[in-house]
Amino acid sequence: MKIVIASDHGGFELKQNLIDYYKKQGINLEDLGTHSSESCDYPDIANTLTAEILSKRADLGILICGTGIGISIAANRHKGIRAALLYDDFTAEMAHKHNNANVLVFGGRTMKTEDVIRRIDIFLNSAYEGGRHQNRLDKLDA
Q: Which of 78, 96, 98, 133 is catalytic?
A: 98
Q: Of the listed pieces 13-21, 60-68, 90-98, 114-122, which binds ligand RB5 according to CB under 6 A?
A: 60-68
Cα torsion at 4, 102, 8, 65 (round to 10°)? -140
CA-angle at 139, arms to 137 and 142, nearest 5°: 120
Nearest-approach distance from CB 138 to ligand RB5, in angstroms: 29
Which of 5, 8, 95, 102 is the binder for ligand RB5 (CB under 6 A)?
Answer: 8
Considering only residues 62 through 121, tell me which ones interact with ligand RB5, judged by CB under 6 A.
Answer: 65-67, 69-70
Determine the Cα–Cα distance for residues 136 and 56; give it in Å rounded to an integer: 22
Strand partners for 120: none
Q: What are phi and psi of 74, to 5 degrees?
A: -65, -45
Q: DSSP code of 98?
A: T
- Is-contact 80 49, C-beta < 8 A? no
Nearest-approach distance from CB 11 to ligand RB5, in angstroms: 6
Which of 3, 4, 5, 10 is the binder for ligand RB5 (CB under 6 A)?
Answer: 10
Provide, for the chain, the percentages of residues in helix, strand and coil under a 3-state DSSP scheme, each rounded to the nearest 5.
45, 15, 40
Which of 42, 45, 111, 122 is the binder for ligand RB5 (CB under 6 A)?
Answer: 42
Of the pair 106, 123, the CB lying nearest ligand RB5 is at 106
Nearest-approach distance from CB 13 to ligand RB5, in angstroms: 12
Q: Given the rule CB under 6 A, which residues bind ligand RB5?
A: 8, 10, 42, 65-67, 69-70
Task: Give me the active site residues, please.
Answer: 98
